[in-house]
Structure 1
Amino acid sequence: MSINNAAHVSPALGGPPTGDLQIGDIVFIRVTARPFLEVANATNSWTNHVGVVVDDRGDEPLIAESTFPLSRTTSLARFLRRSEHGRCAVARLTRPLTDTQRTALKNAADHRLGTFYDTGFNIGSRRQFCSRFVREVIHEATNIQLGKVETFASLLQDNTNPNLAFWQLWYFGRIPWQRRTVTPASLLRSPDVRVIFDSQLSDTA
């Protein structure tokens, strides 16, 4: 079934058809909490939060995500309702998953549920944050590494108007320039995925 012809459309405003989403699909949204809006600004992107489909049975898919305070699973409709103006996009790995990989992906996500959220966005932390969570789950299941791991310094140097005042406040006066992180925008731009749905384009699909 084509994602443009699926009959069951998500209850969330502008959401993707639920009947065509698959385990391993990556769902991008834009939440309105100030730190995440600054993440979007820092990465020159609209998106600032991401989750991965871990169950495609039942009435709607189930999304695994790292969120505050603990990583968890969320129905697609509830996940999308948190997005500003219902904005969302769905990306799929360019290489189809095998049954073994789907099972491994669900297990990788389950293993990380209940982990505290890392507000410092440190890829080396014992905690989790959304893009790291999805990247690690996909990698553990498929050996594909999505996105680009980069330092705060390299991330912000590509931004013509970084809000350094906010990040200095967020990090109690001292931005950890050499801290390594990965962002939702980086996952979305990965050559190993293709966008199969974008709410901004759905009216013309």
Structure 2
Amino acid sequence: MTKINYPYDLEVGDIIFTSIGNELFRQIASASLCWSNHVGMIIGHNGEDYLIAESRIPLSTTTTLSRFISRSNNNRYGIRRLATPLTTEQKLALVSQVPTRLNKLYHTGFDYDSSRQFCSKFVFELYDTALNIQVGKKETFQELLGKNPNAKLNFWKFWFIGQIPWERTTVTPASLWHHPELSLIYRSHEDIH
């Protein structure tokens, strides 16, 4: 097998953003006013491709960057990195947090306080636990949906079986994408802002 050549060099800790096409994830993007609805983090390279750690349905796992991108609508993806470069020690600390978070069930109710995982919580916790750096923002559904007057509340009432958990804390891919301490490294399409 030949090594995959990307138009940039990636580093451990880089956060990869994609856009999953199913209805739930389209509604996440719409509600949070962001093109991206899924994230993962670079944890290394296997000699052929970069490796990604992610929380996905049904379990958190690792995969290759090429497989991660192939699940995105039109292979759309963006990469962001902390503006302050990570040291080797910081990168090792991030990677050391991954194994205990793998094979955890995905939380389709996006409850940050659950023992289950979801993608943005997975990446947020890696940075918070390993480096005491919060990339992204925890917020309640009230805060999240309150920022978007066009949020489809009927979808979310249906999703939560009649009652939106307004006080539930979550963290979204959008809050990571727009985090001021992350710099854009690459975007695959011009419509990614």
TM-score range, shorter chain: over 0.9
Q: CA deviation at 1:57?
A: 4.5
Matched, 1:170 2:167: no
After TM superposition, where is structure 1 displaced by more than 4 Å over at least 4 residues in a row?
Answer: none
The 5 Å alignment of 1:120-131 reads 120-131=109-120
Q: State the AA in 2 paired with 1:121.
A: F
TM-score by length of 2: 0.93
- Partner residue in 1 for 2:178: 189
- Partner residue in 2 for 1:13: none
Q: Is contact 1:21–1:56 with CA below 8 Å preserved after alignment? A: no
Q: CA deviation at 1:95?
A: 1.5
Structure 1 vs Structure 2 CA RMSD: 1.4
Q: How far apart in 2 are the matches of 1:107 and 1:176?
A: 33
Q: Is contact 1:28–1:49 with CA below 8 Å preserved after alignment? A: yes
Matched, 1:65 2:62: no
Matched, 1:79 2:76: no
- Partner residue in 1 for 2:128: 139
TM-score by length of 1: 0.88
Secondary structure in 2 aligned to 1:103? helix
- Partner residue in 2 for 1:44: 33
Q: CA deviation at 1:201?
A: 3.8
Matched, 1:20 2:17: no
- Partner residue in 2 for 1:88: 77
Q: How far apart in 2 are the matches of 1:195 and 1:122?
A: 28
Secondary structure in 2 aligned to 1:20? coil
Q: State the AA in 2 paired with 1:142.
A: L
Write out per-residue CA displacement over residues 130-158 of structure 1, whole angstroms, 9 at most, x where no aligned residue: 00000111122221101111110111111
Stretches of structure 1 that go unaligned for 5 or more consecutive residues are 1-6, 10-16
Q: Is contact 1:104–1:140 with CA below 8 Å preserved after alignment? A: no
Aligned pair count reads 188
- Partner residue in 2 for 1:115: 104
Secondary structure in 2 aligned to 1:78? helix
Percent sequence identity over matched residues?
A: 46
Q: How far apart in 2 are the matches of 1:90 and 1:199?
A: 9
Q: How far apart in 2 are the matches of 1:90 and 1:201?
A: 13
